[in-house]
Each structure stands twice: as C-alpha cells, then as structure tokens.
Chains A and B, each alone.
Chain A
Amino acid sequence: MNWKLLLPYDFSPITILAYLLAASGYLVALRLMPAEERPGPVRIFAYFLGLILCYAVMQTWFDYYSQYMFFVHRGQHLILHHLGPMLMMLSNPLPIFRFWHRQLAPVLGLWTLPIRWAYRIVQQPLIAAFLFAGLVYFWLWPTVHFDAMLSRDLYWIMNWSMFLDGLLFWWLIFDPRSPHDTPSLGYGRRILLLVLVAVPQMVLGAWIVFSRGMVYDVYDVCGRAWPMSPADDQLIGGILTWIPPAMMSVVGILILIGRAMRDDRPRPMPKVAVEGAAS
C-alpha cells in the first residue's frame, strides 16, 4: 500500500488543528464527565467515523482527486455536507457540548453572546434550510464553481462552509432533546425541512445529469486527474448530487418518524374536560 496517499495533498495547518481540537475535545470530555452521562461505544464510534471521514476527504490524497475530477468533488461534498456531519450529530454529542459549556461558559461570559445570536439566526428553520440547499446551489453556480476550483483560498472557504453548515443543519434535525419538553424543533417540522432541502438538490442533480453541454468546464481547463471522458465525469457527478442526498433525507425522515413514535405522548387533556370528568 502506498502510505503517501494518506498524507494531505494540500497541507492546511488550520484544518489539521481544527480536527485535532474536535477529536481531543471529545476525548477529554469523555474522560472527565460523570459516568452516567457518558455516551456508549456505538455513539462514540459514530462520532469518530463521521469526523475521520470528513478529515479524510480534506487532508488525504482524496482531496487531490476532488480538485481534478468533478464526480470525486461531488463525493467529497456528499461526505462534508451530508454523511460526515449526519453521523457526528446522530451520535448525540449533547453530553460533550454540555460538558464544555459547563467548563467554558463561566470563563467566556459575555463573549459568547454574539455567537449565540448568530447561532439562533442561522438555526431558524427556514434560514437553516435555505442555507443548506442554497450553499449547494451557490458553490455549484458555474462561474462561482470555476473560481472556487481555481483559487486556493476560495476552495478552502467552500469546503469549510459546507462542513460547518452540514454540522449546523444536521444538529437541528437530530437534536436529541424532545420537542415536548424543550424548545427544540418539532418532529413534523424537522421532517418538513428534510423534504424541503431534498427537492432543490434533486432538481439541481437532475439538471446536471441531463445537461447536454459541459456545465463545469473548469475540470477541462484545469486538467483532469486522469484522461476520463468529460461527459462521464459530469454524468456521475450529477447522479451523486441527485440521488444520495435525497436518500439521506429519506433516511433522516425514517429516523425521525421512529423517534416521534417512541416519543409519542398522550395529548394533554383540555382543562375543561378534565374538570368535567372529575365532577
């Protein structure tokens, strides 16, 4: 095996630092938190699987192929925007968040206020859905896409914005707190959001698949990783934009329906009826 493939193609110290922080922050919290809050092995595995997948597509040779093949690039974003963040948030890292909140909140004090504001705004359901589908459209807009693949800075901004937005969106969807007792989003709305983001992605993917001409000429301009027919590259890339994200939404909906069923509680009786029954 060629171990060089595990090394970054475009070495980014900040990226490596961020991933180290995400991994060590989790492990430290795991060691120090009270045993009853500690997540089980499956949850820990899901968190790290998601994290490692995202790291792998950003800081191994996979990134090289993502820069020079459209369909690999679509695979990269599928992991950064869907699969990776979905796994990490499905693992319910709430105890980890709570642990760090307990540690950091007294230290940071008022400094967290602007972050909280920004967080509240981007987690408004409609804004979150707009951002999630909108970012896909924005970065796949042919002229924007051309520049993003040509400029190194823009390329990094693109990948990080997809990953961070993925984390925010899937946290909104898989927030483990029950909407019955907390202000977290109701199950119906979560399901609606998943449908809402799936439809525009399917339209975009289908458009790429059925486009006759070259939509993304940047891969011709910048050279492909190997001589592959541009039409095939675009076709596979379009399918990767079209079908797997839609499937992720379906999987998400099934998980949420399961949760809603388990979390089903009797509707609180209207007061009058209760009084009437008592008398």
Chain B
Amino acid sequence: MMFRSGLRRSLMVIGLVLVLAGCLGNDKPTWNTKDISGMLPDLEFTLTRTDGQTVSADDYQGQVRLVFFGFTNCPDVCPATMARLTRAIRAMPEDLQGQVTPLFVSVDPQRDDLDHLEQYVSFFYDRTVGLTGDESSLRRMVKRYRTTFGYDEPDERGSYNVSHSSAVYVFDQQGQARLLLRPEDSADQITADLTQLVRQNRPQGT
C-alpha cells in the first residue's frame, strides 16, 4: 500500500516508530547487521542455475537465502564478500549451516557462462548456488530489490567494469526480506545474525 500524503504521513510514521521503540524496545530481537524487515518485497525470481535448470525462489523455500549480485571478473568486492560469507556460515553451529543457501546472481551474463559461474561459486562455499539470466530478467529482479547494475565502456582487450550492489540481501525461510549485510559488517556479526535468524524462524518439526 502506498500513501502519498507526504509530510504528515512521514511525521506520523516517525511518531509511531518512536512510540513503538519506547514500548517494545526490549522485546525486539537485536541484530548486528541492518534490519530491513518490511522495507523490501518478498523473494521472487526466475533465473537459470549453473546446471542449466530454470529455478525460482520456491525451489529454495524453507532455507535462509543470502542473495548477492556480482560478476566473476569482479576484482575486489565480490571475492571479499563471498569469502566473508563463507567464513561466517562455516562458523555457525554445524546443524544449522545446512539451512543457509547463498545465491550468487551474476549480473554480467555476457561474460559469465554457466560453467565459469559454477567454478567460481564452488570455489568459495560448495553450497552456493550460481544463478544468472538474460539482462531483462536480471533488471526486473534488481529493480524489485531497489538496486541496479551498470557496465563501463570496454577497454581495448574487451574487459569492462560492472557497477553492482555491494550488499547481501538476507531472506528468511518464508522468503521475507530480513537483513542487509553491508561490506563493513564482520564475519562474526554475520554468523551471530544468521544463527539467530535460522533459530527464530525454524520451520515446525525441525
């Protein structure tokens, strides 16, 4: 629902937040990373997996999903982020690690073919799922999560830089957006938050 009554509405929201923060301050779980509950829509996509299958968000229902938009030629942000995620997941209690699935979405489909992508993602953490698609379906997905990507002009060797989100979007087992992991969040903080999230939303019977 989108209200556009502007200022009055935003003042109301602020007032409400302050009141709620005052009343419920102690009950709310605290997170080390950015809490984005209610700010972004539920997880939804249709992309191609590295084994050639078309997959959607439902295929990973019940898992805490960590979505990262990157590209395999990325010199710094992507390897650093993937390495940090790997460290963070491996530090979780062992029985919970299996409930977390990182999804690496390549936004450079022109250079990242499926084999290449598979090699790249399995280098970091073997449960990482490599996904990509044509540019229009990627654009639809990034728009939904209010991010984007862009390409530089290629140099004489045909290599070019890609601008993309440096954050990891965390969706819970029901597919709701919950956390945003930013580059400054440490592996320890991520481990703590992921563990709390998995425990909090554990499906019935597990």
For A127-154 the 0/1 string (1 means CB < 8 A from B) is: 0000100010000000000110111111
* Residues of B contacting A131 in the complex (Cβ-Cβ under 8 angstroms): 7
For B166, the chain A residues whose CB sits under 8 A away are 220-221, 223
A151 touches B9 (CB 8 A): no
The interface stretch among B112-120, B122-130, B144-152 is: B144-152
Select from chain B the residue with minimum beta-carbon distance to A221. Answer: B167
| Bound Cα distance A146, B147 (Å) | 12
A-B pairs, 4 with minimum CB distance: A226-B150, A151-B39, A227-B163, A161-B6
Q: Are A222 and B6 in contact (CB under 8 A)?
A: no
Q: How far is the CB of B149 from chain A (nearest CB, A)?
A: 5
Contact (A227, B152) CB under 8 Å given A15-B4, A161-B7: yes
Q: Which of B135-163 contact A (CB under 8 A)?
A: 142-143, 146-152, 161-163
The answer to whether A223 touches B149, judged by C-beta atoms less than 8 angstroms apart, is: yes
Q: Who on chain A is nearest to B183 by CB?
A: A220
For chain A residues 154-213, which have a beta carbon within 8 Å of chain B?
Answer: 154-158, 160-161, 163-165
Q: What is the CB-to-nearest-CB distance from A100 to chain B, in angstroms, rounded to a whole number?
A: 20
- A157 with B165: CB separation less than 8 A: no
Q: Does A91 contact B (CB under 8 A)?
A: no
Docked Cα-Cα span, A101 to B39, in Å, equals: 40
Q: Are A160 and B150 neighbours in the complex by a CB distance under 8 Å?
A: no
B182 at the interface (CB under 8 A from A): yes
CA distance A227 to B40 in the complex (A): 24
Instruction: Choose from A135, A156, A165, A220 the contact partner of B4 (Cβ within 8 Å).
Output: A156
Let me know if A68 is at the binding interface, CB within 8 A: yes
Contacts of A150 in B (CB 8 A): 36, 39-40, 146, 180
C-alpha gap A228/B1 in the complex (Å)? 34
CB distance from A104 to the nearest CB of B (A): 19
User: Does A249 sit at the interface, judged by CB under 8 A?
Assistant: no
Is the C-beta of A14 less than 8 angstroms from some C-beta in chain B? yes
Scan residues 1-43 of chain A and give those whose CB is less than 8 A from a CB of chain B: 10, 12, 14-15, 18
On whether A152 and B163 interact (CB within 8 A), knowing A14-B4, A220-B183, the answer reads no
Once bound together, how far apart are the Cα atoms of A146 and B180, in whole Å? 11
- CB pair A222–B7 under 8 Å, yes or no, is no
Q: What is the minimal beta-carbon distance from B147 to any residue of chain A, in angstroms?
A: 4
Query: Can you report 29 residue pairs joining A to B where beta carbons are below 8 Å apart?
Result: A67-B146, A67-B148, A68-B148, A68-B150, A118-B8, A146-B34, A151-B39, A151-B40, A151-B146, A153-B1, A153-B2, A154-B39, A156-B2, A156-B4, A157-B4, A157-B6, A160-B4, A164-B7, A165-B7, A221-B147, A221-B167, A222-B147, A222-B148, A223-B163, A223-B164, A223-B166, A224-B163, A226-B163, A227-B162
Residues of B within 8 A of A158 (CB): 10
Question: Do residues B39 and A135 form an inter-chain contact, with CB atoms below 8 A?
Answer: no
The reply to whether the CB of B104 lies closer than 8 angstroms to some CB of chain A is no
Contacts of A220 in B (CB 8 A): 166, 183
B171 within 8 A of A: no
Residue of B10, B162, B167 near A222 (CB, 8 A) is B167
> Smallest distance from the beta carbon of A116 to chain B beta carbons, Å?
15
- In Å, the complex CA distance between A153 and B13 comes to 12
Q: What is the CA–CA distance of A15 and B5 in the complex, to the nearest angstrom? A: 11
| A217: min CB distance to chain B, Å | 7
A221 to B152 CA separation, bound complex (whole angstroms): 18
Question: B148 to chain A: which residues have CB within 8 Å?
Answer: 64, 67-68, 222-225
Given A161-B7, A223-B148, are A14 and B2 neighbors across the interface (CB < 8 Å)?
yes
B contact residues around A157 at 8 Å (CB): 3-4, 6, 9-10, 13
Chain A residue contacts of B1, Cβ below 8 A? 153
- Collect the chain B residues with CB atoms within 8 Å of residue A10's CB: 143
Residues of B near A118 (CB, < 8 A) are: 8
